[in-house]
Structure 1
Amino acid sequence: MTSLRPPLLRSVLAGGILICLPGLDGAEPKEDHLIATTVAAAGADYLVQGEYLGTAGGKQLAAQVVAQGDGKFLAVFEPGGLPGDGWNGTDRIEVDGKASGDTTTFGQIGWHGALTGPTFTGTTDAGAAFTLTKVTRVSPTMGAKPPAGAVVLYDGSNTDAWKDGKVETIEGEKCLAVGAETKRSFTSYHLHVEFRLPFKPFARSQERGNSGIYIHHTYEIQVLDSFGLKPQANDIGALYTVVPPLLNACHPPLTWQTYDIDWQGPTFDGAGTKTGNAAVTVRLNGTLVQDHTEVKSGTGANKKKTETPQGGPLWLQDHQNPVYYRNVWLAEKT
């Protein structure tokens, strides 16, 4: 995967903003190298970004408003409701918008609207009036408690289960930083993990809050701010570069999100010869995004990595983005 920062830039975390400092060539940092890790540091555009729900012409309508930097926005209208909560999964209308003062105005291909505070009003291309109100969804598995016998990997108290486990305090909460790898290896299990993505409105694609859940340090379930995007095989919920998610269930950045991953490792005979492929079922924020997906080999750069009966550690990929984790536990299968 590509590097996310110019090699001559240094960065520091201050007041919830990751600031890239001038490099050795003396160049000044660009605004698009500011990365907010707290709501307080995210600025006015973050208050506009989010999910909106209401009706148009008596039918339910939703919109996901995505910040694109410098007061520019993309509104994705979704008839029926939000992804995983009423939307039909196919119809989406993308409309550009621009903020001016307290109002963000949208207008394109017959759709027009104005967003002020938590209220988004306008008309569809069919002339139906809509009124949408900002909503904040919480995953139904947020705060899930580990069952009896589960392996608690991180509950905020210590990093004893991890190599390179580092804790950072974000908005008063002790969070596990990227780059940590479990000391133990595991084979098949149910994994619960909660994560929080940074707000990077100027970034695009793989530069927008990138990390990954690496099972056996071999198979990656992508972690990325894909909010409002058409899902691809390198977006959140994907078996990285192999299988795209069934649905883009990503919530806005700077909100806690959940992965619940059911992993069945590959099988081997007594001589260590592989006899069956791995399989994975993934729920992102409670929505099914991988359904018993067959996993034939490692993903990304690990495609040719040798699979073993012993499984491997869990790694939270460090992709030079301030992604944070909490409430990480797994229940091993017998």
Structure 2
Amino acid sequence: AKPTEDAAISASDLKPVEPAKPTGDDAPPAPPRSKPEVRPLPTLGPATQADDAPPAPPKPDGDKPEAPAPAQPQPAPKPNPTPKPQKPKAASDLSQVDEDYWFQGEFISDGFFAEQSAGLTGLQVIAMGDGKFEGVVYAGGLPGAGWNHADKQHFAGARQDGGVNLTGDQGSLLVYTDSATLLDAAGQPVEQLRRVRRISPTMGKRPTPNAIVVFDGSSTEFLEGAKLSDEGLLLAGTTMKFPVGDFRLHLEFRTPYMPHARGQARGNSGVYIQRRYEVQVLDSFGLEGVENECGGLYKQQRPNVNMCLPPLVWQTYDIGFAAARYDADGNKIANARITVLHNGQPIHQNYEIVAKTGAGKPETPELLPIYLQDHGNPVTFRNIWLEPKDPSQYVGSAATHCQVP
């Protein structure tokens, strides 16, 4: 509690101290007393006011005292504004990453503990921000490189003692920047894994003689609204200037590193064919691989396997597309078909697209261009080329086959 403060003292309250009176023989004789003057008491009557007193306030009418003035209403206090949630930070190149990035990635068993191992093992380690991580162990190898599409284990944990410690239902993992160790429930090592960096077999694929070079870093002639990064890479949010029917397309893309982001906010873009059918681009590294994740035909068909590589690693799409067919009256008589290779692995094979995907434009006989969707994340593209195909290669009026040689 706050101590009570002393009352303030003004200068007028200070009186000079009188000198002490002498006593004893040295004291002078006292003066003779005079007889006090007797004055008559004043006659009692109405109280009179001294000449120098301040005037009394006017007496209010009536017997009741004057009511105090009503209090003025005070304005309601303004609530504190709710702070807007901060947008997750995105690292668009390796100079911007944190220390967690170097633990993230892919690992494969090296047979060091072959006698305890049940076979080849793959591991993906995913950074989740603030030193937290998730891990997925795949029986048989990595997705697209030996995994049996069935058996996998999930782990979670955080950085500790210079590495990453992850735990799961059947064991644990110790992860370092260049290696990892899988331990059983008793803490005994069963697999030693080493880091691998996979590169798509179609990375850097050169255009065919009849291809349109959409973007190779030298020109944006065939792109509308194109913007380039500081590295000279094509940013998401541009549209090709020509409509497409049947074609074969190659492009390379790179998602940013956004460890604090989740779901559709993590490295999102898309390849909108005819502005109707979206092949999703997303940082889905280590995820399930569903319809709205990388390689999915948005909300319509999931990829056969999640071939997404870690963020800031270049990836490839090789797409073969056959447009929907219409009769003379504009009625659709055959659905569009698509084949997609993601990092060289077929994730859709001659798939029949039953309708537009997500926010795509309605299906009509009109041919439309390809749009590289801007979803607010710094996804970049390079080495884009497209080869138009002759519709006569398909059987009848319907698109019955679509291949990517």
Q: Secondary structure at the match of 2:129?
A: coil
Distance 1:262 1:125, change over 3 A: farther
Is 1:316 the counterpart of 2:366? The answer is: no
Partner of 2:146: 86
| Cross-structure match for 2:216 | 155
Structure 1 equivalent of residue 99 of structure 2: 44
**C-alpha contact (below 8 Å) 1:297/1:307 kept by paired residues:** no
CA distance in 2, matches of 1:252, 1:119: 16
Residue correspondence of structure 1 range 100-249 to structure 2 within 5 A? 100-125=160-185, 129-170=190-231, 174-249=232-307
Conservation of the 8 A alpha-carbon contact between 2:153 and 2:168: no
1:101 to partner: Cα distance = 4.5
For 1:228 and 1:34, locate their aligned partners in 2 and report how far apart those are by CA, in whole Å.
20
Amino acid at match of 2:291: A
Structural mapping, 1:55-74, within 5 Å:
55=111, 57-58=116-117, 59-74=119-134
Q: Report Cα offsets for 1:63-115 as digits up to 9, x if no partner.
A: 00001111010110001111000001111100112102421111221311211
- Pairwise CA distance, 1:296: 1.6
Question: Is 2:271–2:370's contact at 8 Å kept on the other side of the alignment?
Answer: yes
Amino acid of the residue matched to residue 322 of structure 1?
A: P
CA distance in 2, matches of 1:233, 1:212: 13
- Tell me the distance in 2 between the aligned counterparts of 1:48 and 1:131: 16
Structure 1 unaligned segments of length 5 or more: list them.
Answer: 1-24
Read off the aligned partner of 1:326 and give its amino acid letter. Answer: R
Q: Say which of 378, 388, 391 aligns to 1:332.
A: 388
Deviation at 1:27, TM superposition (A): 4.5
SS at match of 2:120: strand
Paired with 1:131 and 1:300, the residues of 2 have a C-alpha distance of: 43
1:96 aligned to 2:150?
no
Q: Percent identity of the aligned residues?
A: 38
Q: How many residues align?
A: 305
- Letter of the aligned partner of 1:201 in structure 2? P
Give the match for residue 305 of structure 1: 362
- Residue 62 of structure 1: how far off its partner (Å): 0.9
Assess if the C-alpha contact under 8 Å between 1:124 and 1:130 holds in 2. no
Q: Residues 101 and 27 of structure 1: is their aligned pair in 2 closer, same or farther, counting only changes over 3 Å?
A: farther
Other-structure match for 1:253: 311
Greater length-normalized contact order (CA 8 Å, ≥ 6 residues apart): 1
2:59 aligned with 1:33, yes or no?
no
Shift of residue 26 of structure 1? 9.3
Aligned counterpart, 1:282: 340
Conserved 8 A contact 1:102-1:117 = no
Counterparts of 1:15-34 in structure 2 under 5 Å?
27=83, 30=86, 33-34=88-89
How far 1:28 sits from its partner (Å)?
A: 8.2
Post-superposition offset of 1:273: 2.6
Q: Deviations over 1:174-194 (max 9, x none)?
A: 211111001110101111110
Tell me, what secondary structure is at the counterpart of 1:40?
helix
Distance 1:225 1:318 in 2: 14
Q: Which amino acid in 2 is paired with 1:307?
A: T
Contact 1:199–1:253, Cα closer than 8 Å, also in 2: yes
Which string of whole-angstrom CA distances, capped at 9 and with x for unpartnered residues, describes residues 17-75 of structure 1? Answer: xxxxxxxx694874x62111111211111100000011463421110000111101011
SS of equivalent to 2:181: strand
SS in structure 2 of the partner of residue 206 of structure 1: helix
SS in 1 for 2:321: strand
Stretches of structure 2 lacking an aligned partner (at least 5 in a row): 1-80, 391-405
Q: For residues 84 and 193 of structure 1, what CA distance do their matches in structure 2 show?
A: 20
- Listed one character per residue, the Cα deviations across residues 179-215 of structure 1 (whole Å, up to 9, x for unaligned) are 1001110101111110000011111111110000000
> Counterpart of 2:259 in 1: which secondary structure?
coil
* Aligned-residue CA RMSD (Å): 1.9
Asked which structure has the greater CA Rg, the reply is: 2
| Residues in 2 aligned to 1:323 and 1:70: alpha-carbon distance in whole angstroms | 23
Q: What's the CA shift for 1:264?
A: 0.7
Q: Tell me the distance in 1 between the aligned counterparts of 2:372 and 2:233.
A: 13
Query: Higher strand proportion, which one?
Result: 1
TM-score (norm 1): 0.87
Q: 1:233-265 deviations in whole A, cap 9, x for unaligned?
A: 101111100001111000000010000111111
Name the residue aligned to 1:270: 328
Out of 121-130 and 293-302, give the one that drifted further: 121-130
Query: How far 1:311 moved relative to its partner?
Result: 1.8
